[in-house]
Structure 1
């Protein structure tokens, strides 16, 4: 549903995010419908052809609307690359000294801390794990596995793990450039006025999510935009 959120601070200043570009609602569905690889299957319509919704990719896989192997090619390339090189994850922007290094061994990517000790490991994920940032990419609310997992999840969804061995990316210029990517999320971001949206579970990695915040709010609101 096209809606925006906002918050008013004590000085009367209002911050808002989530507005679609003009024509963005239909633009998203038209773009998704034209995307090869089964992505159009996410669109659900009424018997008269009226568009009802587009399923999120994880729900699409669960219902058979999107091929379960839609991310396999990219996953295989990532696994091959980091079997011979290192992936560095710096999960906290305010703690640049906290780094973890990932290397693939067989079907597992092991992450070590700066002392060289293995702190967590991930089985080679599938598309459902990537789109939902769960299952094989589970992210518990801790200070090690969860932060690494959400960074990996963002890199897979945005397809930046091959182009940048230092994650997360500082900016969005290289997001979704690979032909194998989360096209659902890509197309949502393309239709947003400020480019920000929750296209997947950890789209807040790097602050690319549609979020407004004030430490001392006076008013919060939600604005529905036209379905056109």
Structure 2
């Protein structure tokens, strides 16, 4: 991610999101070259291969100046089709409701285009894209489907060749809500040609929002202050603020 020299960022990364083969699960057993394990499992499974990746990527648009303020973003034809199905069928399955989040769609489209593969979606890339697009939520759950090639045109519009892939994507979104609580869910959709046109990648990003924050600056000058305010959603209570400074020092502040 090419950006100006960083200043202090008010929000630290929260939870590690697992990259998914097809569905919202903690890892990909089949074909994965990463060592992602289920949360709380103590690390990668025995014998798992760990591959270190390093690269540069340029996100779309301009970087957000404040978390919680979505930039302009237009969905293409296939993204519109997927979103309509996700909101209708996924929304019916989500106990607390499901709405579109423009920033999550911007994030999903860039992640579809820039991630090394459907099995390798580095948390650092996800963190950087979240900051770029002003997403203040914890890292989203990802539902990912891939198609071979791009000659079919499914990275632009819904064609017969990709109808089954879209159906599988939407069905997995529906299933992901079966064990969820009553939170309010937000979704984004992104489709892009990937790996130099060798793949077409379709991604749905899902976040269960527990607090509605007022906009927060992405960067502040050294020793400058900023205000954190918002409201809790659902039955949540006793909020707290945890701060990690530029040197990695952790502290907790009363809310």
TM over 0.5, shorter chain: no
